[in-house]
Amino acid sequence: MDQADSSRINNNPLEESASLLVLFDGLCNLCSGSVQFILKKDKKKQFFFASLQSPIGQTYLQKSGLPATDFHSFVLIEKDQAYTRSTAALRVLKNLGGGWKVFYALRIVPIPLRDGIYNWIARHRYQWFGRRESCWLPTPDLKRRFLD
């Protein structure tokens, strides 16, 4: 595992309540669409979610040593590891299983190249996909999967 794309978190409450936590920009249409994609494909219901802007999102950012005001990164908390950017996205696909895990092979692409593409998309995501004035709210049946 590369230190450039992960950090360890101590005393992670996910070990008890959720196996995988996705932290996302709650104001970004692309990010909210990604969450909805994961919800639809997650047959095992193993993913839980929180926006980066939420108190729990801020807590996990702080615990993992990530900036609490920079919402350009998608974060996956997997037990006591925090993964960011392209590595987080690839690990989500791997954990979705089925045909999606084939994309995990893209981890052989060097992180600077993968994250360079990721960062380029992140910089333009509001322009291309739009921005919400408030965070996306899940339906009542999905609400239990959100830790906010």
pLDDT tens digits, one per residue of 28-70: 778 888 998 999 999 889 999 998 888 998 998 888 888 887 7
User: Given this model, what pLDDT does residue 134 score?
Assistant: 54
CA distance 110 to 119: 14
User: CB of 33 within 8 A of CB of 129?
Assistant: yes
pLDDT confidence bin for 19, thresholds 50/70/90:
confident
User: Given this model, what pLDDT does residue 31 score?
Assistant: 82
pLDDT tens digits, one per residue of 113-141: 999 998 898 888 878 877 766 555 666 67
User: Given this model, what pLDDT does residue 21 score?
Assistant: 93
> Domains of the chain, with CATH numbers?
3-145 (3.40.30)
Q: Is 6 helix (H, G, I), strand (E, B) or coil?
A: strand
Above 70 in pLDDT, residue 92? yes
Give the DSSP H or E segment for 76: strand 75-78
Above 60 in pLDDT, residue 16? no
Burial letters for 93-112: b for 16+ Cβ neighbours within 10 Å, e otherwise?
bebbeeebeeeeeebeeeee
User: CB of 22 within 8 A of CB of 94?
Assistant: no
Alpha carbon distance, N-terminus to C-terminus of the chain? 29
